[in-house]
Structure 1
Amino acid sequence: MAGTRLPPLLEAVLGVGTDLELRTTLQHIVDSAAELTGARHAALDTVDPGRDGLTGILPLTSPAGTPLRARPPGAVPPRPGTLRVPIHVRDEHFGDLHLAGKPHEAPFTAEDEQLLHVLATQAGVAIGNARLYEAARQRERWIEGAAAVTTALLTGGSAADALTTVAERARMLADAAAGVILQRTDEGGMEIVTASTHEDPGDIVGATIQPGSPVLEQLLGGEPVFIDDSATDPRMTTHVRHRFGPSMMLPLEADGRLIGTLALPRRRGGRPYTAVERLLACQFAYQAAVALVLADAQHSRERLAVCEDRDRIARDLHDLVVQRLFATGMMLESTQRRSAGDEVRSILSRAVDELRSTVQEVRTAIFALQQPPAEAPATFRGKVLRETAGAAALLGFRPSTRFTGAVDSRVPDQVAARLLAALRRALATASRRPGVTRVEVTVDVTAGLPDGRDAVRLTVRDDGTAQDGTAQDGSGQDGDGQDGSGQDGCAGTTVTWQAPL
C-alpha cells in the first residue's frame, strides 16, 4: 500500500466512527469510499433496510454523482470499471459498497480494493456501534414514556382519560400515525374506544373488528400482531384500514386480565417497524397494562373510602339529626293540642311544618350521600338532585328538594324526561329573576288530576320578584303550568307541572 494513501485511509477509518447516529455513519462510509478511490459514483445498499428502519433512504450516494443501482448479494459480478465490497456487522452481511467512474475511465486497482476492504471492516464496527447506540436511545425513550404513563395514571383521572394517556404516549414513542385502544364488545368482537391522531379521530372511534376475525383470535389470546400493510392485509376488516400501512397490535394484559389492545399504525407507505421497536412496544404495552390495573385498583380504593365516609355521614344524620328533629316535632304537636290560644297554635303549626320540611330535606341529603359519587345518577330522584345541584352555580345557593311517594318506581322514563326538562327551565328562569334567595323543588307522586287519574306533580317555588309571563310551562299532553302565590316561606313565584302516571 503506497505511503501517500495511508493518511487518507487513517482519516477515513477514524471518520466513519465519529458519529453514533446510524444514517450519518452510513453517509460517512459512502463519502469516504468515494474520496479514497477517486470514484465519481459511490452508493451503499443493504440486505434488509427494514432491519434498521432505513427503508426509503437507501441507496445512499456520494455527492459526486448519481447513485448506482443497488444489487442484491450474490448477483452477477460487477461490470468492468466498477467495484463492489461487502460490509459485515459481526457475522451478518449488512450490505455492499458500490463504486464506479474512476477518472479517465481508469480501472480500479488492487490497492483500491484493499483500501475499500479496510474501510468496510471499520464500517462494520461503526455500524454495530451505531446500532447499539440507537437501540439504547430507543430503550431510554420507551422506558421514560412508560414511567410517564404510570405517573399520569396513578395521579388521578377517569378510566377514559387513562386509556387516552396510553394511546397518546405510545403514538409519540412509536412515531405512529395513530394510537388506538380497542376493547371487547358484548358480541365478542373488539371496538375502538379511544384514538389519538394528528387529526380529528372522530371517525376512527367506534370502528369494530367483527367476531371470527383471525386477528381477533390472536388478540383475545394475548398475542401481539404485526402487520406490514394494514390496507392490504386480509386480516384487517375495519373501515379505516385503507389509511394505514405498517402496524403493531399489542395486548394490554396484566395478571391474566385482558384490558384491551393497543394498536399503533403508521401511514400508508411508512417505514416498517424494526425488531427493536416491536420488542420495546410490547414491553411498553405490558407496563401500561400493569399501570392501568394499579390505577383502577387505586381509584376503587378511593371510591370505597369516599363511599364509606359518605355512608358514615348519612348514618350520623339519620341517627342524630333526623331523630332529634322528629322528637322535637312530636313535642311541638303535643304542645299544640294542649294550647288554648289560636295565635299560639298557629305559631306551633308553622314550626311543626318547618320541622317536617327540614326532616324531608335531611332525608334527601342522606339519599344523595348514599349514591356513588363518580357515577351519573340512574334514578329519577338522583337526576332531580343532579339538576338542583347544577343550578346552585347560577343561583349562588342550592335549592331545597323534597320528594313525596315512591318517586323512583312510579314515574315512567318518558314522563321523567319531560319533568326534568321542565325543572331545568324553571331553575334557569329563577336564576334570572331578581331578588331570589330561596328556591324549593317538590316532586309529589301522590297527586291526582281533576278526572281522578293518578299524577306526578313538580312544583318549583322561589321568593324572587314575580314578573309577567315568567312562570309558564305545559310541554306535552296533560302538562299544566301556572303562576301562584308562594307558600312555606316562598312569597314570589310558583311553577307547577303535572302529568298522569
Structure 2
Amino acid sequence: MSDSRDRGLFSAVIAIAAGIELKATLRRIIQAAAELADAKYAALGVIGPEGTLIEFVHTGVDEATVRQIGNLPSGKGVLGLLIDNPVAIRVADLGGHPASIGFPPGHPPMKSFLGVPVRVRGEVFGNLYLTEKRSGSVFTAEDERTVMALAAAAAVAIENARLFERTRSGERWHRAAAEVSEALLAHSPIGEVIALIATSAREIAGADLAVVALPNPDGTLDVEVAEGEKAAGHPSPGYRIPVESVIGRAFSSRKNEFDFDWSLEGGPVFSAVAALPLVTIDRVIGVLALAWSSPGDSREALQVAESFAKQATVSLVLAEAQQEQERLAVFQDRDRIARDLHDLVIQRLFATGMLLQSTSRGQNLSPEVEERLSRAVDELDETIREIRQTIFALHEPLTGPSTGVRGRLLNEVSLSGAAMGLQPGMRFVGPVDASVDDALADHLVAALREALVNVAKHAKAKKVDVIVMVKETNIVLSVTDDGVGINPDGFSAHSGLANLSARAQDLGGTFALERVSAEGGTRLVWQVPNSNT
C-alpha cells in the first residue's frame, strides 16, 4: 500500500470516527470509501434479520435519479452474493456476471464493482458497495485491501454510534415512563394513560404508528388506541384484531412478535412491525404494537422497546387498580348517602305526614284547610317515592348527568337496551369528560339517542357497538349494527337520521352513513368540532 494511500486511509479513519450519530457515520464511511478507491458511486447496505437489505445509504446518485429509479436495492443479484457469502468480491463487468439481474429503468450505467462486508462484533452489519472506478477500468487488489481496512475501522465507529443511539434512546424511554407515572399520580383516567403510552412509544421509537390493543372478556382483542399521522384512521378504535395477525400472535404466545410488509384493517402498509405483549404474572393485559415505514428505523429502537413495554404494563395495572379503587370509593359514598336518605330523611318525612294526618282527624276544620292538609300529605308521599327511586338509582351503575358526559351517554345506551332487546356495547377513546363541554354534551347525547332509536326501529340488529372518540379537533360518535342495512343515499325518509344530519351541519360537523358489508349492517358516523380546542 503506497504512502499516499496510507495517509488517505488514516485521514478517512479519523473522519468517520469524528461523530456519534449513526446515520451520519454511515454516510461518512461511504464517502471515505469512494474517495479511497476512486469510485464514482458508493453505498452501504444494512442487512436485516431476514437476510435482506433494510437500509441503503448511498452517494453519487442525485435525488432526481433516485426518484426515477424508485425502490432501492433489496439485496438481489450480485449484491445478494455478498449477503449469502460475506467475503470481498471484485467484478470487472456487472452486466456480464452470471448473477446479474440488470438495472431498473433510469438507473445510471455501472460496470466495475467492488464489494466488502462490514463486520461489527463478529456479525455482518452490512456491505460496502463501490462501482465505476474513475481512474481505471476495474478495481484493483490494492483497492480491495484498502477498503477492507477501512471497513474494519468503520466497524468500531458503527459500534460506538450504535451504543450512543441505544443510550440516548434508553434515556428517552425512561423520560416517557416518568410522564406516564406522573399521569398516574395525577389520577388521570385510564383512557388518557393508554393514549399517553401509545403517543410516547411512537415518538420515542421513531415509529409511524403505535397501536394499543386490549382483550375482551371472551379472549378477543380490540384496538383501544391507534396513534400516528400515517394511521389515516386505520385501524379504528374498536376494530377486532385477527387472531392470526402479529398482534394476535403476541397476545397468544406472550412473546414479542415481528413482521414485515404489515397492514391492518385495509390501512397503509408498513415495512416492519413489532408487537410487544404487556404481560403480568398471571395474564396478558394488552399488546403494544409499533410500526415503521422504513425497517431500518426499527433496528435500534426495538432493543429498548421491550423495557418500556414492561414499564407500561406496570402503569396499566396501577391505573386499573386506581380506577377500581375510585369506583369502589364512589359506591361506598353512594351507599352512605342512600342509608342516610332511608334512615333519616324518609323517616322524618313519613313522621311529618303522620302528624299532619292526625292533626286533621277529630278537628273541626274548614274544607279549605282539610284540602290543604290532604294536598301536603300527598306531596310528602310523592317526595318519599322520589327519594326511594333515588336510593334505588344510587345502588345502580353510575349513570345520570351528575357523572359527566360518560355517565349520560352510558345511561342512554342502557335505556335503549330495553327497546332493542339487547345491550349495545359502549367504548370511549380519549378524555371525553374533560374534552366535551355542557353545550356540546347535550348535542352528543341527543345524537346518540336518535341514532339508537333509529337502530331499534329499522335495523333488526343482534349486535350494536357505540364508540365516542375524542380527536385533536373533533368529537366523533360512531354507531355500528349488524342489522338489515340501509341505503346511505335514502336516509331522508327517516326523520331521525335527517335530524342527525341537520344537527351535525348546524355545529359545523359532518354526518355519514354507510353499509358495513353487502350482507347488511350499517355504520353511522356523526362528527363535530370540539369547542374546547
Q: Normalized against structure 1, the TM-score is what?
A: 0.62
SS of 2:222's partner is strand
**C-alpha separation in 2, matches of 1:87 and 1:26:** 11
* Superposed displacement of residue 19, structure 1: 1.2
What residue in structure 1 maps to residue 223 of structure 2? 192
The equivalences for 1:153-302 within 5 A come to: 153-185=184-216, 188-198=219-229, 199-201=231-233, 204-209=236-241, 216=248, 219-230=251-262, 239-240=265-266, 243-267=269-293, 270-271=294-295, 274=298, 276-302=300-326
Residue 243 of structure 1 and its aligned partner are, at CA, apart by: 3.5
Q: Which deviates the most, 160-169 or 23-32?
A: 160-169
* Separation (CA, whole Å) in 2 of partners of 1:144 and 1:174: 13
Q: Closer, same or farther in 2 for the Cα pair 1:177/1:362, shift >3 Å?
A: same
Change (3 A) 1:106 1:230: closer
**Residues 271/298 of structure 1: CA separation in 2 closer, same or farther (3 Å cut):** same
| CA shift digits 1:226-270 (9 cap, x unpaired) | 112336xxxxxx653773442222222223122222233344xx3
**Structure ranking higher in helix proportion:** 2
The residue correspondences of 1:349-368 to structure 2 (distance < 5 A) are 349-368=374-393
2:202 alignment partner, SS class: helix
State the AA in 1 paired with 2:251.
L
Q: 1:121 to 1:180 in 2, by over 3 A?
A: closer
TM-superposed deviation, 1:123 = 1.7
Q: Which runs of 5+ in 2 are unaligned?
A: 67-72, 94-111, 419-437, 440-451, 458-533
Could you tell me how far 1:15 is from its partner in structure 2?
1.4
Residue 361 and residue 111 in structure 1: after superposition, are their counterparts in 2 closer, same or farther (change >3 A)?
A: same
**Following the alignment from structure 1 to structure 2, what is the Cα–Cα distance between the partners of residues 51 and 143?**
30
User: What SS does structure 1 have at the residue aligned with 2:295?
Assistant: coil
Q: Is the 8 A contact 1:179 1:262 kept in 2?
A: yes
Tell me if the contact between 1:322 and 1:359 (Cα under 8 Å) persists in the aligned partners.
Answer: yes
Return the alpha-carbon distance in structure 1 between the equivalents of residues 91 and 336 of structure 2: 87
Count of residues in Structure 1 that have an aligned counterpart in Structure 2: 379
Give the whole-Å Cα distance in 2 for the aligned partners of 1:347 and 1:103. Answer: 113
CA distance in structure 2 between the partners assigned to 1:113 and 1:382 by the alignment: 77
For residue 123 of structure 1, what is the aligned residue in structure 2?
A: 154
One-letter identity of the residue aligned with 2:376: A
Partners of 2:51 and 2:163 lie apart in 1 by: 11
Report what 2:480 is aligned to.
Answer: none
1:184–1:133 distance in 2 versus 1, CA, 3 Å: same
- Cα deviation, residue 172, structure 1: 3.1
Secondary structure of the structure 2 residue equivalent to 1:201: coil
Amino acid at match of 1:31: Q
Q: Classify 1:84/1:367 alpha carbon distance in 2 versus 1 (closer, same or farther; 3 Å).
A: closer
User: Unpaired runs of 5+ in structure 1?
Assistant: 232-237, 384-392, 395-412, 419-501
Whole-angstrom CA distance in 1 between matches of 2:357 and 2:160: 93
Q: Could you tell me which residue of structure 1 aligns to residue 59 of structure 2?
A: 61
Give the CA deviation at 1:162.
Answer: 3.9
Structure 1 contact 50–271 (Cα < 8 Å) conserved:
no
Alpha-carbon distance in 2 for matches of 1:34, 1:61: 9
Q: Which amino acid aligns with 1:338?
A: G
2:360 equivalent among 309, 316, 336: 336
Deviations 1:9-44 (A, max 9, x none): 44332211111111211221222233345x142524
Fraction of identical pairs, as percent: 38
Q: Report the CA distance shift for 1:34/1:381 in structure 2 as closer, same or farther (over 3 A).
A: closer
In 2, are the aligned partners of 1:44 and 1:95 still within 8 Å (CA)?
no
Counterparts in 2 of 1:85-100, with a 5 A limit?
Answer: 86-99=117-130
Distance 1:187 1:359 in 2: 43
| In structure 2, C-alpha distance between the alignment counterparts of 1:184 and 1:99, rounded to whole Å | 51
User: Counterpart of 2:42?
Assistant: 43
Secondary structure at the residue paired with 1:338?
coil
* C-alpha distance after superposition, 1:121-144 (max 9, x if no partner): 332211110111111122222232
Partner residue of 1:11? 11
How many Å apart are 1:295 and its aligned residue? 0.5
Could you say what secondary structure the match of 1:35 adopts? helix
Q: Measure the CA separation in 1 of the matches of 2:338 and 2:54.
A: 66
Equivalent residue letter for 2:381: R
Deviation string 1:73-113 (CA, Å, 9 cap, x unpaired) is 23654439766555432323434445566665388778766
The one-letter amino acid paired with 1:263 is A
137, 142, 147: which one aligns with 2:168: 137
Q: 1:36 to 1:74 in 2, by over 3 A?
A: closer
Alpha-carbon shift at residue 288 of structure 1 (Å) = 1.6
SS where residue 28 of structure 2 aligns?
A: helix
Deviation at 1:2, TM superposition (A): 6.0
Q: What amino acid sits opposite 2:312 in the alignment?
A: A
Shift in Å at residue 153 of structure 1? 4.6
TM-score (norm 2): 0.59
SS in 2 for 1:55: strand
Q: RMSD of the alignment, in Å? A: 4.3
